[in-house]
Structure 1
Amino acid sequence: MGFWGKLPTNEELSSLKQAEATQVLDTHGVLIGKYYIYDRQPILYEQLPQHLIDALIATEDIRFYEHDGVDNTSLLRVFFKTILLGDSSSGGGSTVTLQLVKNLFGRKDHGAFSIVINKLKESIVAKRIEKMYSKQEILTLYFNTVPFPDNTYGIESAALKFFNKPASALNLAESATLIGSLKANHSYNPRLFSERSQLRRDVVLQQMVKYEYLDATIAAQEMSKNIELDYQYFNHDTGVAPYFREAVKKEVQAILSGYTKEDGSTYDIYRDGLIVHTTLDSKMQLLAEESMKEHLRNLQKAYEKSYGDQAPWKINKKLIQHALQQSSKYKEYEKQGVSKAQITDSFSLKREVELFEWDGNTTKTVSVADSIQHYLKFLNAGMIAIDPSNGAVRAYLGGIDYRYFKYDHVSQSKRQVGSTFKPFVYTTAIENGMKPCTYFPIKEVTYTNLKNWTPKNATAQEDPYLNYTLETALSNSVNTIAVKVMNEVGVDKVLNQVQKMGINEPLPKEPSIALGTAGIKIKELAGAYASYVNQSKSVLPYYITKIEDKNGNLIASFEPSVSETPAYSEYTRQTMLEIMKSTVNHGTATSIRNIFGLTNEIAGKTGTTQNNRDGWFVAITPKLVAVTWVGNDMYQIGFKTTALGQGANSALPIFAKLYQKMNADTTFNTITKSSFEKPSAQVIRDLDCEPEKRDNLLKRIFSKKKKKKKFGVK
């Protein structure tokens, strides 16, 4: 009658619903993450191993197939021993069905009579469930809702989390381990208490022997083994590709806002058990993460050593104060109307905090101000690797560690791209008729109509009277010639060409963009560079192929976004690709060959911005285009030296290490063993010239003074 609270109706029991985790799958169907309130993944009865079911019955409810939801024999034992005699060792008398009811509806506090009232209510509901569902259906409901350690609900989620395999693939010992943890989720957590968990596992195996579900010899063999976990973190901040998963989550939520269920309600990414299929290759992603960590660990040490005691994060008080004021905590206090003096006091309070370090995190007693200053020193990174034929994202590095650096340098950051912009200038020039063997002097020029702007090269040239072809100039990243080529072809044409290549970011109409002073997102840069191996067509990098409901019904699907028309001619494409091959074979990216020993077919472009603030490398292979960036989150802090900060040293090694690892894995043969097509005879002829030439004596005599001219005036 509802005296102690309303009981679920038959109608409600016939359509039991539980919050289910949304699964995120990679391009091969591998689970890479979840979005959930409760980590739950339902499966069918047919997917439950028999030994798992036997372990449950033998341990939790030996008369399961005989009772009607309530085991009267056990209840009498509980009543007399537990309640009247206070013997807690007599057990709870709870059947699998009663436990299911508790899992589904929880318990309420009714004071001193709680155990009696809750048991009575659960018994009524359990009997109703037994009338409405078969024993197999009850077992399925139970296994899909029962709580396991580490906030995990359901056997499928538990199997994936603790053993990195679906429930159907669990072996006997693994099943016994998980069933054993049901007695006390925390106390028998195999991740935290392996020895205690193993003893409990052995109890489960002994129970199976006792009730003749298992041969004693087999049980003894299993008990002689140690528990071997393959623990998978599906925490939002850890695990494989956390930046990618966060980007996917935001996109899925935006997509689902335009869809409704059959009943008109909206989808809930945390409760509805959706299945999100993505383009990511989790194997490549793990290799990319390893490569980034290996390189950044060493680069960070060299970075700090180069500054020594004069590091800006140590001595530049204005910079430190600026960082404090830009922190989210500071802005939060400002919104609340807290005075600067109060904020300063608050920021000076010390507490124990775990701080990120490449050689192992440390726990120190520090203030908020100390913590912010600590993180000022770190270099960060961003990388995206895409299939150039369709824009499918295969690897995605938004930063060095999502737990401590939430800012995503792939989807959020817009940094100056440096010399990686130069190929767009040269593409425009060739597309507008400039021959690749056109020579330009490397000598500096002062442009009088641009406030006497004098572009300089990264390194001093030994011979100011040299003239380079487009190939030599681009492969060696000569700034002075990039500006001269821009001057020849015109800024407007370059901006128009860039737009055709899929970069829709509004760029300044200034000559300095030839040197990459404009800020462009990594994703857009990758999509534009893909055109060099995709029939001159740019692509839009994308993450999601389809979204399904928990039953596999399609909600939405997505096709690649490839430019309908080529951005430039086939002649221009082949010519530029040959020039960028030269960058790797003879130019600024030769470390790919002579240090990392890669013999694969690779083209590319390095990039370094003013004051060594950003290091870039764009790698072009026939089947993969990767863009990598390295720099400090605090834009005012650059590398101490160009030698350390240039893209060839700061960014290129991440890609090179990734490709080394991919070369060692036959899984990636279709990528690593792919070849560029041969250029046309005309392209080969037009590139067949001396890479450089010197001015003749007469010309040198008349050009001893620094040349001055107006930009845009021929």
Structure 2
Amino acid sequence: MAKTGQKQQQSFGKFIKWFWILFGAGVLSVVLVFLLASWGAFGEMPTFERLENPETNLATEFISSDGETLGKLYLDDNRTDVPYNALPKNLIDALIASEDIRFHDHSGIDARGTLRAMIFLGSRGGASTITQQLSKLLFTKHASSNTFDRIIQKIKEWVIATRLERSYTKEEIISMYLNIYDFGNNADGIRSASRIYFGKEPAELKVEESAMLVGMLQNSSLYNPIRREELTWKKRNIVLGQMAKFEFISEAEKDSLQAQKINLNYNPESHREGLATYFRMYMQRWLNNWVKDNPKPDGEKWNIYLDGLKVYTTVDSRMQRNAEEAVQEHMKNLQAEFFHQNTPKRNPTAPFLDISKGAIDTILRNSMHRSERWRHLKREGLSEKEIEATFHKKTEMTVFDWNSDSYEKDTTMTPLDSIRYYKTFLRTAMMSMEPQTGHVKAWVGGIDYKHFQYDNVIQGARQAGSTFKPFVYAAAIDQLRYSPCYTLPDNIYCIEPGKHGNIDSWCPKNSDGTYSGEDMTLKNALANSVNSITAQLIDRVGPGSVVSIARNMGITKDIPEVPSIALGTLDINVFEMVGAYGTFANQGVYVKPVMVTRIEDKNGTVLYEYTPETKDVLSKDVAYAMVNLMEGVTQSGSGARLRHTGAKNQSVYKEVVTGYPYEFNNPIAGKTGTTQNQSDGWFMGMVPNLVTGVWVGGEERSIHFSSITYGQGAAMALPIWGLYMKKNYANEEIGVSKDAFEEPEEMSINLDCSKQAQEEQDDLDIEDDLDGLDF
């Protein structure tokens, strides 16, 4: 018996010995595996430097003057980091309750969760901690279907997770995880996700909204509220259940929130959608030029799509939104009237007017050759004959349509027909600027960037028409010291050949072809755009003087020194016209329009701050006299409908000109402009702290209204200004002025025409008395 017991004891001892040997070997094997993984034996591991500075792509962000994000520039990742203190508590609670309840108790690996996952083979939940999920997003690739590869992948995640825990605080790990996750639909990171899905900043997220976003962390493609709302709703409710289970919310609150449907406020962020699209695309070109001359400290070039630059712009998001709404509201109505007048029955060559079929074919052919389709097929090696054949084959496409809610419709037409179709739409441009600082407050380059990408604010230049006349009047007042009350006869006026350069005799007609034959004040002449008076003024000061003033006011285009420029034959863009008119409102000082106040890198280091570019052009009294002249335009001239109560011309404008009557009663200076055949309609409007220019016209000059009723600047462009200003004034926080323009203390130019008339009458009476005396 003793021997049997001794043998059993020896066997048990051997068992214990081998148990500890095997256990130790197992532990050592595990340690060795982790060491090998950390040394990179199973694939590259991140260095300490990479752990300290993980590489993530950050979008460049355009920030408005009122602190809103206008949009972003990015290639693949629409990401903007948010610090932990800007994340709402309910989002953190939802994340921890759903993904890692022991997050604050472990050091990267949850032993209990791992053991549970191993015993139940994952049927009762996975074991990945938030830190492990972050390590997978940052430093490891997606595992293959191979079991061994998946095990190695998990080991690498564990090693990286423990390293991350040593390098970062728990708060930093949470913010990094939420900032890097791809929530789908260009929503890279929590800030983009909250803005795109709910139209708000992360700090404003409600409990149920946070729960939905946290639910998407498991699989944003599967739990996508745009494509799978019901499935996403169920997943959100699971997260809410977890929050109640761990007492982050009450059972009553959970039941109430779970009963609610998902309330999305979907705001897609792309380069072709959102607020200020034309402005953002201009800023993209501006930044590309800026980075060429402003390298990083190490000499490398900034990447405007990946380096997370913050560009602080002058645009006010509220005014920009008002501008875009004003454009859409008026242009939709104006386009409906244009279509009404250009039916095949009324105009067989619609939308073109007064040109031959051959000229139309040339326009369409040239447009075809300039199209992206042509360039693309040319790069593929197709011959011109083969390319042209594709333009005559019907294809499915999505085109612009004012009458649909999304301004798009699906249709089938040939690419050539689509070119003609797009030419039927009137185009527009609008820019608004603070004259004292040059800060551009709103920028609308067209009716819809997705379908009309040509930016008419700065890329387009069209005949200025009568909006150029103030440069002529300014030269006359500045050089000849004329008063707005100065009179000239309204008769046909000719400038003889060779007087101002090598030109023929020039006898411009008034717009209606008639002449009153009476003396007319400069104020009245400008208000009614009387060409005969303008011709006399440029004859007296000379075209060179007008050109000099226009150049000093920011018009960069080469201007011919000929008398005809007085009537606006020169092509000018809206950008330069607004800058030039700002000189009048800013007491004669030209301030170059500015769009960017500063640029910062992702760490907040200032890389650029703007310096104003200014030039003294006119004296204060001349500038104020010009403002007084242009106030006459809105008091009794072509812009007077801004003050109408609706009685005058109401039958014409109530259906087409949205927002009419406007009934403004504050001081407004402005000038309308209409070019030959109504091809271009302009309105330049000013109040003391805001100058705004609007242009409307067709892509081709042969696309226009047939009559002046709708084709004049007062009908095409002025209503956009009126709508825009009504919206601005409705929000007093914007601060657009209703005050009078500031008059200089020493005003040497008489503005009181009744006083001047009395003085002229007194002079006549004195002459009559002297004639009656016998010397």
TM-score by length of 2: 0.83
Gaps of 5+ in 2: 1-35, 498-502, 645-660, 761-775
Match of 1:15 in 2: 53
Pick closer, same or farther for the CA change 1:354–1:391 going to 2, 3 Å.
same
The one-letter code matched in structure 1 to 2:537 is V
Q: Which of 362, 376, 381 is the aligned partner of 1:318?
A: 362
Pick closer, same or farther for the CA change 1:294–1:506 going to 2, 3 Å.
same
Quick check: 1:391–1:562 contact (8 Å CA) kept in 2?
no
- Could you say what secondary structure the match of 1:524 adopts? helix
Q: Which of 87, 96, 104 is the aligned partner of 1:48?
A: 87
Q: Which of 472, 475, 488 is the aligned partner of 2:524?
A: 472
- Could you say what secondary structure the match of 1:355 adopts? strand
CA distance in 1, matches of 2:316, 2:125: 48
User: Offset at 1:420?
Assistant: 0.4
Pick closer, same or farther for the CA change 1:636–1:106 going to 2, 3 Å.
farther
* Corresponding position: 1:348 with 2:392: yes
Match of 1:292 in 2: 327
Q: Which of 725, 728, 750 is the aligned partner of 1:683?
A: 750
Match of 1:173 in 2: 208
CA distance in 1, matches of 2:588, 2:708: 33
Percent identical among aligned pairs is 36
- Could you say what secondary structure the match of 2:46 adopts? coil
Quick check: 1:25–1:278 contact (8 Å CA) kept in 2?
yes
* Corresponding position: 1:182 with 2:217: yes
The one-letter code matched in structure 2 to 1:617 is F
CA distance in 1, matches of 2:252, 2:188: 32
User: Offset at 1:367?
Assistant: 2.3
User: Offset at 1:549?
Assistant: 1.2
The one-letter code matched in structure 1 to 2:222 is S
Quick check: 2:692–2:721 contact (8 Å CA) kept in 1?
yes
* Corresponding position: 1:39 with 2:78: yes
Quick check: 1:110–1:117 contact (8 Å CA) kept in 2?
no
The one-letter code matched in structure 1 to 2:508 is P
- Could you say what secondary structure the match of 2:284 adopts? helix
Q: Which of 533, 541, 565 is the aligned partner of 1:481?
A: 533
Encode CA deviations 1:37-75: one digit per residue, 9 max, x unaligned: 312222222333332222112211233234432334544
Deviates more, 1:581-590 or 1:520-529: 520-529
Q: Which of 425, 434, 446 is the aligned partner of 1:378?
A: 425
- Could you say what secondary structure the match of 2:172 adopts? helix
CA distance in 2, matches of 1:499, 1:516: 15
User: Offset at 1:390?
Assistant: 1.3
Encode CA deviations 1:104-131: one digit per residue, 9 max, x unaligned: 1342565634433322322222232233
Quick check: 2:110–2:127 contact (8 Å CA) kept in 1?
yes
The one-letter code matched in structure 2 to 1:212 is E
Deviates more, 1:626-635 or 1:146-155: 146-155
Pick closer, same or farther for the CA change 1:528–1:151 going to 2, 3 Å.
closer
Match of 1:508 in 2: 560
Encode CA deviations 1:201-226: one digit per residue, 9 max, x unaligned: 21111111222332212222322333
User: Offset at 1:453?
Assistant: 4.1
User: Offset at 1:577?
Assistant: 1.3
* Corresponding position: 1:576 with 2:615: no
Q: What does residue range 358-369 of structure 1 map to in structure 2 within 5 Å?
A: 358-360=402-404, 361-369=408-416
CA distance in 1, matches of 2:752, 2:517: 26
Encode CA deviations 1:185-215: one digit per residue, 9 max, x unaligned: 1332334444433322211111112223322
Q: Which of 69, 73, 86 is the aligned partner of 2:108?
A: 69
CA distance in 2, matches of 1:482, 1:332: 49
Quick check: 1:584–1:590 contact (8 Å CA) kept in 2?
yes
Q: Which of 572, 597, 600 is the aligned partner of 1:548?
A: 600
User: Offset at 1:378?
Assistant: 0.7
Q: Which of 701, 712, 721 is the aligned partner of 1:655?
A: 721
- Could you say what secondary structure the match of 1:153 adopts? coil
* Corresponding position: 1:357 with 2:401: yes
Gaps of 5+ in 1: 83-87, 694-714
CA distance in 2, matches of 1:645, 1:127: 72
Match of 2:491 in 1: 443
CA distance in 2, matches of 1:21, 1:370: 38
User: Offset at 1:80?
Assistant: 6.4
User: Offset at 1:527?
Assistant: 1.2
CA distance in 2, matches of 1:116, 1:374: 59
Deviates more, 1:623-632 or 1:228-237: 228-237
Pick closer, same or farther for the CA change 1:445–1:682 going to 2, 3 Å.
closer
Encode CA deviations 1:10-47: one digit per residue, 9 max, x unaligned: 33212222111222111111111111231222222233
Pick closer, same or farther for the CA change 1:423–1:356 going to 2, 3 Å.
same
TM-score by length of 1: 0.90
Quick check: 1:392–1:560 contact (8 Å CA) kept in 2?
no
User: Offset at 1:161?
Assistant: 2.6
Match of 1:708 in 2: none
- Could you say what secondary structure the match of 1:200 adopts? helix
Deviates more, 1:69-78 or 1:136-145: 69-78
Deviates more, 1:398-407 or 1:61-70: 61-70
Quick check: 2:495–2:539 contact (8 Å CA) kept in 1?
no
CA distance in 2, matches of 1:331, 1:107: 38
User: Offset at 1:347?
Assistant: 1.5
Match of 1:700 in 2: none
* Corresponding position: 1:665 with 2:731: yes
CA distance in 1, matches of 2:49, 2:627: 67
Match of 1:235 in 2: 270
* Corresponding position: 1:517 with 2:517: no
Encode CA deviations 1:323-349: one digit per residue, 9 max, x unaligned: 223324335545766433212112123
- Could you say what secondary structure the match of 2:165 adopts? helix
Question: Aligned residue pairs: how many?
Answer: 683
CA distance in 2, matches of 1:615, 1:241: 23
Q: Which of 330, 337, 360 is the aligned partner of 1:302?
A: 337
Structure 1 or 2, whichever has the larger Rg, is 2
Quick check: 1:589–1:604 contact (8 Å CA) kept in 2?
yes
Quick check: 1:383–1:397 contact (8 Å CA) kept in 2?
yes
